[in-house]
Structure 1
């Protein structure tokens, strides 16, 4: 049946429906009761329309454009997902590279470095020290536990939260520090360090240190010692001398068991970045050590 025949059948059907509606009105019905028959709508097969020569060119063009927009929409969403995945991967790789070779963030778990650092501070640690930049006396350094200095290591987080935190720490997007330590370098390899002179000062290579960073009232003479720092190691102490289990309390008198291998040093803490009201650079107080001679 061609298109003209189908149109004629529809028109005849509409006329019959109109006659029936007219009869209902004549017998007391109301115009509101008139309902024309609904012609079911078939889904448009755009592919078929595109290949039928009996369809007007305008309809074929409209179908072709609709098909193109649908295809572009699907490709656009796929392209968005692909670009988003690339951005995330690049960000993770950059973060991992920065954490491995440039800098890493750490949080401060204890009060052993007060007042320079307080629990909860976030610091940025430069990976260039030691390395391209040499360690100096007075540097604040983060290092791995050199030999069970932490009596009770922090428990590892478990479950999904633990896995997420560990993953973020690995790529450098979450501060580390659960099982690392942070102290100030007092003696370099070969230095002779002792406590204390008659003024209660730490002495390095015969020079008594005036240490303005020490926690007020903490003192520094809780434990007597006199050591020569072995090669490849450093002597570290906390600024809060009365609350810091540092090199003093782990040494057997040889200078080796209490000192920290340079290979265990992660880097130098250079800046407090959180909380915002404590944001500042961390000084190594070079004026405190500038009169100390080389060993």
Structure 2
């Protein structure tokens, strides 16, 4: 009978050890996915409406970190460049659309009201109906390694236009990009590509 008790204890200890190893492997796998594949973020404000709504869960594609292309929606670390959010709390991660990158000349606005990048009028089908591309005039060249970003909901967005006199001139280092956003993961009713 003693052998049966010892066998039962050995099996119990083995089961606990296997479970512990599985939990550690799952946690390690989740950390690796977050670091190298996709990192989840919740949209905190209406600055990217109508494409993104407050509360939407988005996944930043980590394979695109430290890169930026015109037209991409990116999540970036704005600490030290973008101040506080509307709630007065320090907002570290921001989601905005890349309008111009290093070497681009970005200007607002033409007589027709369009923003131009390198002299070409920017088509912005993602703007809410009736939205003016910008009520803040600007004409600048984006330094190499930086990006000029705007929210789609220009009337309710703190972005590069608002921070032209701030450190960095409102232009964020591309090295601050966490990843690009191509889709909404949650809620299910809004799930899909941008």
Give the TM-score, by structure 2 length.
0.92
Q: Which whole-Å deviations, capped at 9, do the CAs of 1:200-258 have from their partners, x for residues lacking one?
A: 111111111121101222322210001100010000000001100100010039x9411
Match of 1:150 among 84, 87, 90: 84
- The structure number with the bigger radius of gyration is 1
**Where does the alignment leave 5 or more consecutive residues of structure 1 unmatched?**
1-65, 155-177, 283-295
User: Could you tell me how far apart the structure 1 residues matched to 2:55 and 2:30 are?
Assistant: 22
1:248 aligned residue: 161
Match of 2:38 among 79, 83, 103: 103
3-state SS of paired residue (1:215):
coil
Match of 2:103 among 190, 211, 231: 190
1:280 aligned residue: 192
1:36 aligned residue: none
Report the alpha carbon displacement of residue 68 of structure 1 after superposing the two structures with TM: 2.7
User: Could you tell me how far apart the structure 2 residues matched to 1:124 and 1:149 are?
Assistant: 23
Contact map agreement 2:68 2:177 (CA 8 A) in 1: no
Match of 1:261 among 162, 170, 173: 173
User: Could you tell me how far apart the structure 1 residues matched to 2:82 and 2:95 are?
Assistant: 14
1:116 aligned residue: 51
Given the superposition, is the C-alpha separation of residues 125 and 228 from structure 1 closer, same or farther in structure 2, using an over 3 Å criterion?
A: same
Report the alpha carbon displacement of residue 150 of structure 1 after superposing the two structures with TM: 1.8
Moved over 4 A (4+): none
Match of 2:68 among 113, 128, 135: 135
2:12 aligned residue: 77
Count of residues paired in the alignment? 191
The structure with the greater share of residues assigned to helix is: 1
User: Could you tell me how far apart the structure 2 residues matched to 1:129 and 1:90 are?
Assistant: 26
Q: Which whole-Å deviations, capped at 9, do the CAs of 1:34-53 have from their partners, x for residues lacking one?
A: xxxxxxxxxxxxxxxxxxxx
Report the alpha carbon displacement of residue 270 of structure 1 after superposing the two structures with TM: 2.2
Contact map agreement 2:68 2:147 (CA 8 A) in 1: no
**Where does the alignment leave 5 or more consecutive residues of structure 2 unmatched?**
none
My pick for the range that moved more, 191-200 or 96-105, is 96-105
1:41 aligned residue: none
Relative contact order higher in (CA < 8 Å, ≥ 6 apart): 2
User: Could you tell me how far apart the structure 2 residues matched to 1:216 and 1:76 are?
Assistant: 66
Are 2:149 and 1:236 aligned?
yes
User: Could you tell me how far apart the structure 2 residues matched to 1:181 and 1:77 are?
Assistant: 48
Give the TM-score, by structure 1 length.
0.61
